[in-house]
Amino acid sequence: MEDKKTERIVVERISKKFDLHFRKQEGALARILSLLYWGEEKELHVLRDISLRVFSGDSIGIIGKNGCGKSTLLRIIAGIYRADKGIVKTNGNIIYLTGFFNGLNDRLTMWENIYLVGAIYGLSQREIKKKFDEIVSFSGLNDFVDTKLYQFSSGMLIRLGFSIVIHCLHQKNPDILLIDEAFTTGGDIEFQQRALGKMEQIIKSGASVLLASHSLDVIQKYCDKVLWIDDGVIAKEGKAGDVVEAYMKKYGS
C-alpha cells in the first residue's frame, strides 16, 4: 500500500490575475466602454499568494462564493492555466472533472460518443471496448446505442455523460482527482443514488481529491479538510466541520 505521506500536490504562494482590457477588434461598443472606464483598473486579481500541500489519500474541499477563485486554483493545478507567480508541482496522474457533458457530440451516435469521450480521457480503443457494456448498462440506455445524441432528452444525456466519465475514471485510476462543481448528477432518484455511490467509490479509492463545491453537505460528507477562499485569498483552512461552521456564520447555509 502506498505511503500516506506521498506528496501529490505542492502549491507555493501562487497568484493569478486576468487582463480585462478591451481589444480594438471587439468592435465599436467595446471601444466606447473602454473610453468610459478609462483610468480604472483593468486587471482582475483572482488568486493572491495561495499555498497548499496535498498528500496521497487526502480529500480536501474548496469552498467560497462565486468568483472567489476556486475554479481558477483547480485549473492551475491541472495545468490549464499558468500562475502569474509562485510554484505548482504535481506528482502522479491527474484528471480534472468539471462536468459530464464535456466532449459529447450531438451529431454522433451514443456508441460513437462513448469512444470519443473515452479517448479524450486517455483510454485506448481496447480499454473503451472493455468498458463499453458496463457504460451502456449503467446508463440504462441499452435501446439507444445507435441513436444520435440530438434525439436524447437532457436526462438521457446526463445518464450517458456520467456513465462514460465515471467508468473512465475507474479505468484510469488517477492519483489526483480535481472535481470542479461536478458532483451533482441530475436524473431520476434511482439513478442519482447509483451515481453518488460510484462517485463515493472514486473519492475513497485512495486518490488525492480536491473537491470544489457549493454544497456544504457534500463537502462535509466527503472531505476531511477544507480550504475557504474569499476574494482570492485563504480565509480559513482546517478540519471540515470547523471551516464550514465559520463559513456559515458569515454567509449562512
Any idea which residue has 488517477 for its cell?
A: 174
pLDDT tens profile 32-52: 555 555 555 567 889 999 999
Task: State the Cα–Cα distance between residues 2 and 7, nearest whole angstrom.
Answer: 11
Q: What is the value of pTM for the model shown? A: 0.80
- Which residue range is the domain that position 218 belongs to? 7-93+210-251
Specify the higher pLDDT residue, 133 or 200: 133
Q: Based on the structure, what is the number of domains in the chain?
A: 1
Q: Is residue 230 situated within a structural domain?
A: yes
CATH at residue 231: 3.40.50.300
Q: Is residue 73 situated within a structural domain?
A: yes
User: What is the identity of the amino acid at 111?
Assistant: W
Q: What is the pLDDT of residue 24?
A: 47
Nearest CA-CA partner of 249 in 225, 231, 232, 230: 230
pLDDT tens profile 50-109: 999 999 989 999 999 988 999 999 999 999 999 999 999 999 999 888 877 778 999 999
Q: Is residue 34 situated within a structural domain?
A: yes
Q: What angle do CA 120, 58, 194 make, to 5 degrees?
A: 60
